[in-house]
């Protein structure tokens, strides 16, 4: 028992002062980036409300700057290979164990958004399977270098109207882009534009939702923190876009990533409203849903239609007859609730693990102080013996504390998949809404058509009663017939659009199912392997102490 110079002794010497000890226990890369000095679970809370707000993801701002110089035992990312030193007697860790235990580092040169044949994604920020494609094409996007810029036009106030731009760098081997590496500066407004255009062009798809505007936060937070928060959110968003098999190849995204200069804002193609107004328009332009302003009349008609649908009576000519779809929709809703519930519990679990680590560390600290005290004031040998025992326990407690915190960091990383999918649910909602509104458009047009037809019939009936025909009525009938023809075309276009969206929904649902299964399974595996690994390490630490104090057990 006397002064057992276990390896822990070395560590104990590293923290001579209380401050160092506290740094050891409390200040690590996990917490330094939080303005309110809070733990990883706060990021979960924000991610729960909207995926774009998962700003303070504990590991996502590259934190290497803080961990680089400090005690290697301090920074979680150093723990690399579970096979290396200690124990891991359980099983040969599966191939992804290295992925799981490797540092969470977005700027490492080795990290690329790769789709390989095993569908394992080494992109650390979002370990989801990308697609079923077996080719190894990739798009790697980083957002960096926020810069403050001046609004050049309309500056009535000198020095007023500043905004931030972000450097968006892309590396890819997809030939469509025409280049393998390029960058562009973009402001948030451009991102909003991109998102809007994608929403128009890709109705029915599960389009990842863009980051929130966060107007309130932008005014309340420290500028630097807000800009950093936004940078992270943007990067996540673009990465998700790049991960979508269809959207990654879209023109909109290409332009956004490559073409310098202002992005053209979305043109509001409210032609459907113009057409429903009675103006002649190109039928293909009817496909966009009704928006505000100029679409008022169309909105009104569609609203009337939807009310008619809801309140029954007249059965709409086209119904959502796809029973399978309705069931799927309900199931998705249920799934969303369960994922949400699970992610809330994960939040609590993460907090509990964090607290455990913290308290364990504080206990260790208290014993270290006691050890020092007893040694300094020792008058009897029994005190020295006790001090040695105490130090043994203290070092173990501190080690265990570190392990808990590392475990937690990894837990957050893995179970974050749940959050990502919550965000995806928003995209699913969007796609289903696209479908509903497309259906509504079809129904509205059908009603319109039937109204027009009955009007035409009436006119013809009235006109046929007049011998020789009624010049004005005949003219009206001609006009009406023309309108009917156009409306007929528009209806066909709308139906085609509706069918297209239905098809998109179906494909995306299949993709969601497949990817979700893989992602969730990986999440579970990662979580479990992690728990096992760290539990074994913690067990070893304590087993050693139990061994060293076993003499006391025999006494009693």
Partner 1 sequence: MEQQSQRSVSGSVQSPRSPSSQPYLCVSVTDPVKLGNGVQAYISYRVITKTNFPEYQGPEKIVIRRYSDFIWLRDRLFEKYKGIFIPPLPEKSAVEKFRFSAEFIEMRRQALDVFVNRIASHNLLQQSEDLRTFLQADEETMERLRSYETGIFKKKPADLMQIFKDVQSKVSDVVLGKEKPVEESNPEYEKLKHYVFELENHLAEAQKHAYRLVKRHRELGQSLSDFGKAAKLLGACEGQALGKAFSDLGAKSEALSVKLQKEAHQLLMNFEEPLKDYVRAVQSIKATMGERANAFRQQCELAETMKLKEINLDKLMLTRSDRVGEAEHEYKELKAASEEATKRFETIVRLMNEEIVRFQEQKTRDMGIAFHEFAKGQARLANSVADAWRSLLPKLEACSFA
Q: With CB under 8 A as the contact rule, which of the stretches 199-207, 227-235, 314-322, 532-540 interacts with partner 1?
A: 532-540
What's the min distance (Å) between Cβ of 327 and partner 1?
A: 13
CA geometry: angle 94, 99, 103, nearest 5 deg: 140
Nearest to 115 by CA among 137, 140, 142: 137
Give the one residue of 137, 285, 320, 355 binding partner 1; rule: CB under 8 A: 355
Rank residues 68 and 543 by Cβ distance to partner 1 and give the closer one.
543
Q: How far is the CB of 367 from partner 1 (least distance, A)?
A: 6
Q: At closest approach, how far in Å is the CB of 119 from partner 1?
A: 10
Q: How far apart are CA 366 and CA 361, in angstroms?
A: 9
Closer of 126 and 520 to partner 1 (Cβ): 520
Kindly state the smallest distance separating residue 10's Cβ from partner 1, in Å.
20
Closer by beta carbon to partner 1, 41 or else 205: 41
The least CB distance from residue 125 to partner 1, in Å, is 22
Backbone angles phi, psi at 79, to 5 degrees: -70, 105
C-alpha distances (whole Å) from 197 to each of 255, 394, 439 are 11, 59, 21
Shortest separation between residue 523's beta carbon and partner 1, angstroms:
10
Query: In the set 65, 176, 251, 552, which binds partner 1 (CB under 8 A)?
Result: 552
380 binds partner 1 (CB under 8 A): yes
Binder to partner 1 among 257, 275, 398, 538 (CB under 8 A)?
A: 538
375 near partner 1, rule: CB under 8 A: no
Angle of CA points 134, 137, 141, to nearest 5°: 135
Query: Which of residues 146 and 526 has its CB atom nearest to partner 1 in the complex?
Result: 526
In eight-state DSSP terms, residue 139 is E
Q: How far is the CB of 362 from partner 1 (least distance, A)?
A: 5
Kindly state whether residue 246 participates in binding partner 1, applying the rule CB under 8 A.
no
> Using CB under 8 A, which residues numbered 502 to 531 contact partner 1?
517-518, 520-521, 524-525, 528-529, 531
Question: CB of residue 219 vs partner 1: minimum separation in angstroms?
Answer: 36
Enter the DSSP assignment of 245: T
Exposure string for 406-430, b = 16+ CB within 10 A, e = fewer: bbbbbbbbbbbbbbbbbbbbbbbbb
Residue count, binding to partner 1 (CB under 8 A): 68
Give the shortest CB-130-to-partner 1 separation in angstroms.
Answer: 17
Cα 126 to Cα 113: distance, rounded to the nearest angstrom: 9
* Site membership for partner 1, residue 400 (CB under 8 A): yes
Task: For residue 9, state whether it binds partner 1 (rule: CB under 8 A).
Answer: no
| Contacting residues for 175 by C-beta, under 8 A, at least 6 apart | none
- The yes or no reply on residue 26 touching partner 1 (CB under 8 A) is no
Burial state string for 85-117 with b = 16 or more CB within 10 A and e = fewer than 16: eeebeeeebeebbeebbbbbbbeeeebbbebee
In the region spanning residues 287 to 346, those forming contacts with partner 1, defined by CB under 8 A, are 331, 334-335, 338-339, 341-342, 344-346
If binding is defined by CB under 8 A, does position 382 make contact with partner 1? yes
Cβ atoms of 52 and 211 closer than 8 Å? yes
- What mask of x and - would describe binding to partner 1 in positions 150 to 179, judged by CB under 8 A? ------------------------------
Q: Alpha-carbon dihedral of residues 297, 300, 301, 302, nearest 10 degrees?
A: 120
Among 232, 299, 392, 512, binds partner 1 (CB under 8 A): 392
| Per-residue H/E/C for 68-129 | CCCCCCCCHHHCCCCCCCCCCCCCCCCCCHHHHHCCCCCCCCCCCCCCCCCCCCCCCCCCCC
Task: Give the dihedral of Cα atoms 71, 72, 76, 82; nearest 10 deg.
Answer: -160
Structure tokens at 334: 């249920």
**CA dist., res. 272 & res. 236, Å (int):** 35
CA atoms of 291 and 282, how far apart (whole Å): 18
Shortest spacing between CB 526 and partner 1, in angstroms: 10
Q: Which CB, 303 or 528, lies closer to partner 1?
A: 528
Q: Out of 287, 393, 412, 477, which residue is the one contacting partner 1 (CB under 8 A)?
A: 393
Among 348, 450, 451, 454, binds partner 1 (CB under 8 A): 348
Please give the full DSSP string across 432-447, using - where no structure is assigned.
HHHHHHHHHHHHHHHH
Interaction with partner 1 in 77-116: which residues (CB under 8 A)?
90-91, 94
- What CA–CA distance (Å, rounded) separates 178 from 505? 31
Interface positions with partner 1 (CB under 8 A): 1, 90-91, 94, 331, 334-335, 338-339, 341-342, 344-346, 348-349, 351-353, 355-356, 359-360, 362-363, 366-367, 369-370, 373, 377, 379-380, 382-383, 385-386, 389-390, 392-393, 396, 400, 517-518, 520-521, 524-525, 528-529, 531-532, 535-536, 538-539, 542-543, 545-546, 549-553, 555-556
């Amino acid at each position: 028992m006397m002064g057992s110079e276990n390896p822990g002794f070395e560590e104990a010497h590293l923290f001579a002062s209380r401050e160092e000890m506290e740094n050891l226990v409390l200040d690590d890369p996990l917490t330094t980036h939080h303005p309110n000095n809070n733990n990883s679970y706060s990021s979960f809370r924000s991610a729960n409300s909207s995926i774009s707000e998962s700003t303070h993801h504990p590991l996502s701002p590259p934190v290497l700057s803080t961990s680089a110089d400090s005690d290697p035992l301090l920074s979680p990312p150093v723990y690399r290979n579970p096979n290396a030193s200690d124990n891991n007697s359980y099983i040969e860790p599966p191939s992804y164990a290295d992925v799981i235990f490797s540092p969470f580092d977005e700027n490492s040169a080795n990290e690329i958004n790769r789709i390989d044949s095993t569908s394992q994604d080494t992109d650390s920020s979002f370990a989801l399977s990308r697609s079923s494609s077996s080719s190894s094409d990739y798009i790697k996007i980083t957002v960096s270098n926020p810069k403050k810029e001046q609004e050049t036009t309309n500056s009535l106030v000198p020095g007023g109207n500043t905004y931030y731009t972000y450097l968006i760098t892309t590396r890819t081997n997809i030939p469509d882009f025409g280049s393998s590496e390029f960058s562009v500066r973009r402001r948030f407004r451009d991102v909003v534009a991109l998102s809007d255009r994608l929403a128009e062009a890709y109705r029915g798809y599960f389009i990842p939702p863009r980051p929130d505007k966060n107007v309130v936060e932008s005014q309340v937070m420290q500028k630097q923190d807000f800009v950093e928060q936004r940078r992270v959110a943007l990067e996540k968003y673009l990465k998700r876009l790049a991960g979508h098999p269809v959207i990654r190849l879209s023109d909109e995204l290409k332009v956004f990533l490559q073409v310098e200069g202002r992005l053209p804002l979305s043109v509001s193609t409210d032609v459907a409203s113009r057409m429903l107004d009675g103006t002649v328009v190109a039928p293909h332009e009817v496909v966009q849903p009704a928006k505000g302003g100029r679409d008022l009349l169309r909105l009104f008609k569609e609203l009337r239609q939807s009310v008619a649908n809801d309140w029954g009576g007249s059965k709409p000519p086209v119904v959502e007859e796809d029973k399978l779809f309705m069931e799927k929709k309900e199931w998705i809703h249920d799934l969303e609730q369960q994922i949400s519930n699970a992610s809330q519990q994960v939040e609590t679990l993460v907090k509990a693990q964090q607290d455990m680590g913290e308290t364990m560390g504080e206990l260790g600290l208290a014993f270290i102080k006691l050890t020092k005290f007893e040694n300094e004031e020792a008058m009897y040998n029994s005190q020295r013996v006790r001090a040695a025992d105490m130090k043994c326990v203290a070092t173990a407690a501190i080690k265990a504390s570190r392990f808990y915190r590392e475990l937690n960091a990894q837990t957050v990383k893995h179970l974050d998949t749940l959050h990502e999918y919550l965000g995806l649910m928003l995209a699913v909602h969007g796609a289903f809404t696209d479908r509903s509104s497309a259906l509504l458009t079809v129904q509205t047009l059908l009603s319109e058509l039937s109204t027009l037809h009955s009007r035409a019939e009436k006119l013809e009936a009235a006109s046929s009663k007049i011998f020789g025909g009624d010049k004005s009525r005949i003219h009206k009938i001609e006009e009406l017939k023309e309108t009917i023809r156009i409306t007929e075309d528009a209806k066909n276009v709308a139906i085609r659009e509706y069918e297209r969206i239905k098809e998109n929904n179906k494909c995306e649902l299949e993709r969601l199912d497949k990817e979700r299964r893989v992602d969730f399974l990986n999440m579970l595996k990662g979580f479990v392997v992690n728990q096992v690994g760290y539990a074994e390490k913690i067990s070893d630490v304590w087993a050693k102490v139990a061994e060293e104090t076993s003499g006391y057990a025999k006494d009693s």
